[in-house]
Structure 1
Amino acid sequence: MATRATLRAEGNALFSAKQFAAAVEKYSAGLALPPSADGADDAAQNVLLWSNRAACFLQLEQFDAALADCSAALDVEPQNEKARYRRAQAHVARGNFADAFRDVRLVLQLHPDNKAAAALARKIQDVVQRDVHGVRKALDAVVAGTDGASWRESVLPLRQATQDALQFLEMKCVQDLTSIPVEVDEKGGLLVLWRAVQRLLEHLEAIQDQENSDSDHKAVDSLLSHTISLLAIVASASPALAAKVYDHSVSSGAVFTPVLELLHAQTELQYSENKQSTARLLSLACRKHIVKLAAFIFKHLMLTSDDDTAIRSTLKGVLDGLRGQDIELQITALDGLLHFISTPTKEKEADIISQRKTRFATLAHEMGVFPLLHNTAARALHAGEVQPIDAPFDILLSRLPLVFTQCLAPLEKNESVLKKLVRDYCVAPVLAASPSDRRMLEQATASCLLLSALFLANAKLALWCVQQSANDGSAFLTKVHDFLVASNTFVDPRPIVRRLQEIWVDCVASVCGVENGTACVPSLLRVEIYKMLRAALDHDDLVLRASALSIQIKIAVVEKALDADSTDAQFLIDRIFEVLEQAHEYEKRAIERQLFWSGASPKERGIEALSYVITLTHVKNAFVKRPKAIESVFEVDFAAPNKETSTKTPSGSHAHAHVGYRSNVYYGIGYILHHVLTSEAALKKKQMEGMDITPEQYEELQKALKQKSTLDDGDTPEKVQSRVKYLVASSHVLTTLVQLLKYTTTRSQNVVEMATLSALHAAEVAEVRGKLVQSGVFQALIPLSLHTQPTGEAVKGKPKVHRPHAGTAISNAAGQAMAKILISTNPNLVPSSSLFSSIKSLLDLCKGDSQLLQFEALMALTNIASVSDETKNRIVTEPQSLSTLQYLQFSEHELVRRAATETICNLLPNEQIIEKIFLNDEKMRLWLALASVEEEAEDFETARAAAGALAMVSQVPQVSWLMMQQGALEAFVRVVEISTREETLHRALFALENMFLTLNETNEAEKADEKQTLLQGAEKHRSTLMKRMKDVLVGGNFSPAAQEAAKSCLGAFVQCVGKK
């Protein structure tokens, strides 16, 4: 039996053989087959059949048929690249370059590397450039085509040329939104366009009452739609152009006012029972363009004008879109309101913008925006019951709550008004509703939808209003329980019932997500949620399942009813991972459909639930072994800083990009990462620092009381390291960590702190440090690691150094993470800019009070200093760097002293080091003491580093002379005589050789007496030196390098004092 797939394969073979007509028959036969049991597969096959048949029609030059097939395919699968490309080809063949360019541009947005699409785009541009020579010519065509006195005699004959010119200008403006709209204005285009609007309105009125004028009405509608669309695009380009668009409308005879009046009349027509009047409705496209233009002008007026009449009439125009019956028009109106509400606030304009938004909120209250939003949501829910549920309904229900909460936000200072609005539109309809009254139920469901969004924006206010409903909030949720129970008896199709249940359960989850929220959940509702979670829900019930899971987890954790080892707990944990894994694909599909939910998505609910249980060790270990769950948690979008939350579509509308999640979701991600990358015991020990009892004493106390220590969670360092490696292996984890580190601290400093601590935990594992550099984590830590400017005091007996405060939790953690990375990572693999930028932060750590941080920062600086002379100079030239390093040579901690000495040693050779340290009498005595035999016995590593530094600088005659003046001959002779360590012996021999050579070569008259004294001192050690060096030369326990050093030293000594 033939199937769609087999017929498509046969058609493909015929197409390859260039038998296009025969191939069309095969594809048509496939499309004519009756539906099978697998509807989804049928739809996917039909898309392929339509697309392939369109390819045949293109070859047969049946362009209208090709266009129809491509459109049919795109209606089912908007992201289909081939169908959209082929439709662009059909548009080009029909001479419709504007639509062709729109399609090919979408193809290139999806797949920038599509060479065929790029070539077609260039072809379209070339053709357009040849056919219409620039903006001025297009504007001339608009003038010629709209300025005639008679519609039929002077306008209608030129309609196609006028429309082509308008479409060309639309395309050019979208293609280059920064310059072409400006050119349109500079060439008088705004006056031309408003004049065209005025004339078209006159023609529209003239033919309104004429018989048999449907075609004329459609023609005027089309021209008016394109003209207003072009004005909206120009207004969207910049605030300055929005002002000019409005100003030119005023100077052209206040043309914008009749446009708004027309829109209002159109809205009334939609509710008219006169079918003849309804037939005269303008096209949806035209009305949408009017609403878009009104939105841009409204934003301009709200931010710059005090003309209350103009502001109100323009806002009324935007709201007329919301009052209309078309879902798409309502969405356009909501996006128009968001365009103003989401205006970014610049620091210098913060007060002005805040005042304007408060003014808008008051205006919205006066003009009935809040009841309109509530009724629109209820109408949408009712419409969904009588029409197929599709993307526009979902988009509308995602936008409405966002606009509602954003309109409420500026009213926070007027608490009484704010609370009344919330009670009236979020709580009261729920309390008043009866599950058996469908209209009341729709009103109540709309309230639940708005309340869920309010919990995200102002949880304290939302919970207060719920708690005022009686019985500390349980009355409200008892009603929700009644709705859920009643829904089991609804005879509606499952998608409609599911939509209602999703909204109700999401509202319950929102209540449970705040402090004391779980106390509002009555026992009957808890049972219903538990039954829902245990029910065999299908894949389409993901939103419902995620919300129910979130509720169950919150109640169990908050009320301490979750037994980690129980089967119920394991069931919930498994469901969390399943929800996360399924939610990732769900969200991808939602983004493709432009569903940017203002409430909590399944992924957000999953992240929320996981954050409640991630402190359990077995949950951590299970999570890192679920790669799909990891991908779901960490593959997230972030809002671009200082950007508006909307982007302009080709027609000037506001297609909201996925601009990130609510901030507590980012905190949840950071919290999860923070806890997975370490153990709870380590975190608790960290919290106990500075307390009266140490972690060790606490454990002893627990043992004495025969209680299990909370510091013993069975999470070993090996398990932690394993988890770190698992997570770092995922590219999404480090990418998201970088974004969390860059998260604007004014929005949530806690998010940044969690991310910084996560980076520190990851840096504990040496094997992943290279990836932390490659992924950008190291670079992102640098700005976070900077401390405030230092202040301080001198310490008696030590070099003077300014002591800053200990830094913040974020700066210390970021600096420590950088230090750990640099200790073991080859610094040559770190970008030089990052390496240089890290130096100040590391020195800040050195100036702090934590000996651990000082030690790790010094070790990192030692590694950096080994890279090049440039890095040495950068460290040395940082303010107070040398005084800080010298200060730490007096540290009470042996390792800090040693690390500071090694850092200075690694900074050599450097002229400033030599000048400021090794040509100073007092400091030279310090270094000689550090390199002494006595120091070697106590701290060999420090003595070795000091001896190495002195050996290196002894090559400078001035330093060598000062060393001898400060007793270096005697000190190093003792090292040679007594030391059993070849490393210090080698360094001492090298230093002695340089001092002997300097002594021998010094001939200045003013040094003659001192030279003689030094020679006598050297002579005193002849026997000791000769014996020791001969032992080294003839002994078999020394390396060739040490023997060579002894030989050279012996030669220099004999040359200096002579043979005896």
Structure 2
Amino acid sequence: MTKTEMSSQQWKEKGNEAFKNGEWKEAENCYSNAISLAEQCSSEKSICHKNRAAVYLKQKEYTKAIQDCDKALEICPNDPKALFRRCQALDAMERYEEAYRDARNLVTVDPSNKTIQPILARLHEIVQERLRVNSQINTKVSQMFNLAFDLKTDTKNRETSMNNLLVLAREKAGAEVMFNEGVVKKIHTLLKVEKNDEINLACVRIIAELCKDNVDRTKAVLQDVGIPWFLDIINSRKEERVNAAQHCMQVVLNSFSGMDNKPDTKPNKELCEKYKKEIDTLLTCLVYSITNRTITGLARDAIIELIMRNIHYTTLSWAEQLIEIRGLQRLMEVASELEEYKYESAMEITSSTRTITSVCLARVYENMYYDAAKAKFMNAIDEFIKDKLITPDIESKVRVVVAITCLLLGPLDVGNTVIAKEGIMEMILVMAGTEDILQQKVACECIIAAASKKDKAVAIINQGINILKKLYTSKDDSIKVRALVGLCKLGSSGGSDATIRPFADGSTKKLAEACRRFLVNPAKQKDMRKWAVEGLSYLTFDAEVKEKLVSDKPAIKAMIELAQTGDQSVIYGVVTTLVNLCNAYDKQEIIPEMLELAKFAKHHIPEDHELDDEDFVNNRLIILAKEGVTTALVSLSKTESHNSRELICRVFNAICSQVELRGIVVQQGGAKALLPMALQGTAKGKKQAAQALARIGITINPEVAFPGQRIMEVIRPFLALLEQECSALENFEALMALCNLAGTSESVRCRIFKEGGFQKIEHYAYEDHVMLTRAATQVITNLMMSPEVLKFYEGDNDRVKYLVILCEDEDEETSMAAAGALAMLTANSTKACAKIFDSKNWLESIHYLLANPNKSIQHRGVVVVLNMISSTKDVAAKLIETDVMEILMALTKTEAVEDKTIRELAAKALETAAKWELIKKNIEDLQGVSNINLDDSAAVE
């Protein structure tokens, strides 16, 4: 029967039947059909709205429940059921005053309703308490306003008052009171004249707290202060102020999109559609501000980072719109700026600006996932370069080459396409060969960036090697160090293969020594030291260079100090050098058969240097950790570049491979830095970060390593390591870490279940791999403490049967874990006790446990038997039919059992059987007890 063939009444009755059966979605659909067919303003329509509201309550969709109740009450005012259900929904949403109103109205309409009485009493208490608290908050807010916004008040008191207002703004009630008292307009007025940095900072943070998770307040704030105000407050030379303003603008975008600041946040599509105009306006203003000549370099960086975080398809998916409004050309304008080259219309930039812009360009290109979009991207880049080269003056050439370098450091494919265009490489080489310092500098940087792949390196070796050698003889250190890096990069084109040397023997060490002199010389500018580290990042493929560098404490210290500055432009050089020192790069797996085949075919076979043996690598890791490399990695991890974050994760993971270094990583903030990188970034980066966290979780108490909410957030990365494409070692370490997590608290165990962890873990218990089976079984044992697990084992499946089989596993640790899990399961589930008999060899497993020479396994076996006998008379009777009672009797008597607890548990099991009247109380009369040899498990079988 189709929808049109059924009446509204029939749909309603069908919905009622589905509701009784707990089929909420079916009930919702039926009531929706009934509503669409019912006459307007009829009592039948009102009933259907009420019924659908009940379904929404069951599904915890409280807003929809309230909307249905509103419609029902429009038709039938003061309807008791509609009032009651709306009251329930409002109560669940903590809208207590409105819920209390409905409860009072319901009592007036239906005084005999006993269900609402306790709810009314509870809501009355809550409302009264909130009134009392709000009254206190009103008084506090009034007092703080008088002090904070009065310019005549002592500055110290004003600072304290403003910080108190910030604390109040973080509370729901406090934020509401402050907003209603007009704090936004007060702050807007104050910031026009306020000179105190502490007060300005608190004001910006208060606005952020008011906008957090509240669309109505956010809209009101934008209406009161306007978008230009946000751009004004971010325009500062004080980093803390810029960060606060950036956070405030992100909160505004989050409120309109339903996102939050967690790494794996996703936007709410309905909200994004509803507030599309506001989101588009905000992002458009940010894009236009990129090239604003009046803002500071710090503000420019913060705005580009904001755009980068919000345009990706996993967030607000705004990349294509950015290209439509010519945002790509604006980014390229910033990319073409040089910090040290000033001209009339120059923008202020920082040492990190070009790096951040490169990452942003790469992020935009990531979103060009179809050919037409990629073509638009390339057209915009080509248009920018053509516009610049229309007037071929020196400034235009310099800016084009600087922009191309930025592309090569960001969307590499785009950069390579541009540099391959006719005349571009020739122009760069001509500039490198001039006597002009600026042209030499930018050309050198572009050549370095272009030699990123072997084919490009070969082309540049052929065309530019002599130019680089000539530039290396320059008297200008800034040119010399760049030429040095170019030579280093070309000299490392053989990678870690010890048999390939592009330059003459000894050249690599000489280049490394030259880089070292620039790095450790405190008289050199930071820019030159940065280039020196980049040179080492190429040379440290050579094992001899690694060993010499890691034993050079001043050089290591200088490199770490450079990293701790947080300068985004030093990231690549420092982190790549560290990756090489730790041998944390991907290594190709060599299959012996393929190796022999390659030798036969006379193909070149890469060879590792003897200084790259495991002992040397481990020693380097220890030296780096003790020199404070973790603090450097934590500073650098703030980058938005996913590729750089992957490299950072590789170093972290390499350090965490050493058990004795894991405590240092946690102490210096490594675990906190790793967590967001394990949730967001490249697939390899997330895997490396997750493995590092797992290694920490194995060695250190999870509650110490991952305090507070972090212990919940770390579950997802661990579960991600339980995928089939991960290595057995990654699987094993993730299971071990999850085992420790599962032993901490019930809330953690529930979160593991919620994330679908139980099924993933269970899969590895069936693996034909001793260590994986053992680890998975140990996790299950700890999870068995949760009531949630009973649902899995009591269901219609073979889980209990398999657990019984695992009790007889050849691996003693696996057997012990399985027996422990079975002991806990049978203690909490009568149904599971009966399901043990589903196993064909259940009796052999019981024998194996009870007569096991390992006292821990034997103890668990006795507990399982005791639980089974205590569960039901039927289960106990089935056990009595076997020789289990005789074994228990022997356990209470034999001197071979030294553990007093085992004897007591066995005796208790016999007493319980006697209570069921299955055996005589005088159990000493049992025959055959003295003939059982508990020292020989074969005798029991």
Give 2:579's aligned residue: 674
Within the alignment, does 1:625 sit opposite 2:551 as a pair?
Answer: yes
| Shift in CA distance, 449/607, structure 1 to aligned 2, threshold 3 Å | farther
Shift of 1:514: 0.6
Q: Is the 8 A contact 2:405 2:449 kept in 1?
A: no
What is the deviation of 1:974? 2.0
What secondary structure is seen at the aligned counterpart in 2 of 1:1017? coil
Aligned length: 634
- 1:553 to 2:488 alignment: yes
| Residue 903 of structure 1, aligned match among 779, 788, 800 | 779
1:724 corresponding residue in structure 2? 621
| Alpha-carbon contact 1:473-1:520 (below 8 Å) kept | no
- After TM superposition, give the deviation of residue 821 of structure 1 in Å: 1.8
Structure 2: distance between partners of 1:1053 and 1:779? 53
Tell me by how many angstroms 1:833 deviates. 1.7
Would you say 1:450 and 2:399 are equivalent positions? yes
1:61-80 to 2 correspondences below 5 Å: none
Q: Which residues of 2 match residues 114-263 of structure 1 at below 5 A? A: 172=195, 237-238=229-230
Q: CA deviation at 1:126?
A: 7.0
Local SS of the residue matching 2:714: helix
Is this contact kept in 2: 1:822–1:863, CA < 8 A? Answer: yes
Alignment correspondent of 1:958: 830
Determine helix, strand or coil for the equivalent of 1:743. Answer: coil
Contact 1:469 1:475 in 2 (8 A): no
Mapped contact 2:493–2:502 kept (Cα < 8 A): no
Partner SS, residue 525 of structure 2? helix
Cα gap change, 1:1012 to 1:702, in 2 (>3 Å): closer
Aligned-partner SS, 1:917 = helix
Name the SS for the 1:846 alignment partner: coil
* Cα pair 1:919 1:959 within 8 Å, conserved: no
Q: Deviations over 1:603-632 (max 9, x none)?
A: 342233222222212222233333443344
Change (3 A) 1:765 1:920: same
Aligned to 1:140: none
Write out aligned runs for 1:845-864 (5 A).
845-850=721-726, 851-864=728-741
CA contact (8 A) 2:712 2:751 kept: yes
Residue 946 of structure 1: aligned partner: 818
CA separation of 1:509/1:358 partners in 2, compared to 1, >3 Å: closer, same or farther? closer
Please give the residue correspondences for 1:290-689 in structure 2 after superposition, counting only pairs within 5 Å: 345=307, 347=311, 354=323, 357=326, 413=379, 418-424=384-390, 428-429=392-393, 444=394, 446=395, 449-459=398-408, 473=425, 477=429, 480-481=432-433, 483-484=434-435, 500-501=436-437, 503-515=439-451, 529-530=468-469, 533=472, 541-558=476-493, 562=501, 566-582=505-521, 586-587=525-526, 601-635=527-561, 660-662=567-569, 666-678=571-583, 683-685=586-588, 688=589
- 1:1045 matched to 2:884? The reply is no
Equivalent residue for 1:826? 701
Partner of 2:656: 763
What amino acid maps onto 2:902 in structure 1? A
Distance 1:424 1:827 in 2: 62
Q: Where does residue 248 of structure 2 map in the other structure?
A: none
Q: Distance in 1 between matches of 2:661 and 2:457?
A: 41
1:781 to 669, 674, 682: 674
Cα separation, partners in 2 of 1:574 and 1:920, compared to 1, 3 Å: same
RMSD, aligned α-carbons = 5.7
Q: Is the 8 A contact 2:478 2:528 kept in 1?
A: yes
Contact 1:518 1:555 in 2 (8 A): yes
Q: 1:1059 aligned to 2:924?
A: yes
- Using the TM superposition, give the Cα deviation of residue 573 of structure 1 relative to its aligned residue in structure 2, in angstroms: 0.7
Q: Tell whether 2:715 aligns with 1:839.
A: yes
Q: Compared with structure 1, are the counterparts of its residues 787 and 1017 closer, same or farther at alpha carbon in structure 2 (3 Å cutoff)?
A: farther
* Alpha carbons 1:787, 1:844 under 8 Å: kept: no
Structure 2 unaligned runs (5+)? 1-150, 157-190, 205-224, 235-280, 365-375, 926-941
Q: Which amino acid aligns with 2:781?
A: C
User: What's the CA shift for 1:177?
Assistant: 5.8
Kept in 2: contact 1:474–1:520 (CA 8 A): no
Say which SS state the counterpart of residue 924 (structure 2) adopts.
coil
Q: Is the 8 A contact 1:756 1:810 kept in 2?
A: yes
Q: Helix, strand or coil for the counterpart of 2:587?
A: helix
8 Å Cα contact 1:579/1:603 also seen in 2: yes
Shift of 1:522: 9.6
CA contact (8 A) 1:377 1:397 kept: no
Q: Which amino acid aligns with 2:814?
A: T
Match of 1:1059, SS?
helix
Query: Which residue of structure 2 aligns with residue 930 of structure 1?
Result: 806
- State which of 805, 808, 813 in structure 1 corresponds to 2:688: 813
Q: Which amino acid aligns with 1:549?
A: L
- 1:506 and 1:544 in contact (8 A); partners too: no
Give, as a single letter, the amino acid of the residue that structure 2 aligns with 1:721.
Answer: N
User: Once the 2 structures are TM-superposed, how far is the Cα of residue 464 of structure 1 from its aligned partner?
Assistant: 8.4
- Identify unmatched segments of 5+ residues in structure 1: 1-123, 130-167, 182-232, 243-299, 306-310, 320-330, 381-391, 430-443, 485-499, 588-600, 639-657, 689-693, 789-806
Q: Cα deviation per residue 1:891-919 (whole Å; 9 max; x = unaligned)?
A: 23232222221111123433233453268
Change (3 A) 1:901 1:361: closer
Q: Which amino acid aligns with 1:863?
A: N
Larger radius of gyration: 1
Residues 245-301 of structure 1 show CA distances to partners (whole Å, capped at 9, x for unaligned) of xxxxxxxxxxxxxxxxxxxxxxxxxxxxxxxxxxxxxxxxxxxxxxxxxxxxxxx99
Residues 356 and 568, structure 2, Cα contact 8 Å, conserved in 1: no
Q: Does the C-alpha gap of structure 1 residues 572 and 447 become closer, same or farther in structure 2, counting only changes over 3 Å?
A: farther
Partners of 1:359 and 1:727 lie apart in 2 by 40
Aligned amino acid, residue 379 of structure 2? K
Residues 987, 584 of structure 1: alpha-carbon distance in 2 compared, 3 angstrom cutoff: farther
Quote how far apart the aligned CAs of 1:973 are: 5.3
Distance 1:783 1:548 in 2: 37
Deviations 1:79-103 (A, max 9, x none): xxxxxxxxxxxxxxxxxxxxxxxxx
**What CA distance in whole angstroms lies between the structure 2 residues aligned with 1:616 and 1:697?**
28
Conserved in 2, the CA contact under 8 Å of 1:819 and 1:856?
Answer: yes
Q: Give the Cα separation in 1 of the matches to 2:357 and 2:587.
A: 42
Partner residue in 1 for 2:75: none
Instruction: Provide the rounded CA distance (Å) in 2 between the counterparts of 1:868 and 1:839.
Output: 13
Q: 1:743-776: per-residue Cα shift (whole Å, max 9, x none)?
A: 33xxx43223222333222221111222333333
Contact between 1:674 and 1:758, CA under 8 Å: does it hold in 2? Answer: yes
Residue 1014 of structure 1 and its aligned partner are, at CA, apart by: 4.0
CA contact (8 A) 1:467 1:474 kept: no
- Per the TM alignment, residue 734 of structure 1 is displaced from its structure 2 partner at its CA by 2.3
Residues 1:978 and 1:604: Cα distance change in structure 2 (over 3 Å): same
One-letter code aligned to 2:483: A
Tell me if the contact between 1:888 and 1:900 (Cα under 8 Å) persists in the aligned partners. Answer: yes
Deviates more, 1:549-558 or 1:705-714: 705-714
User: Which secondary structure state, in structure 1, belongs to the residue aligned with residue 482 of structure 2?
Assistant: helix
Shift of 1:575: 1.0
Identity of matched residues, %:
18
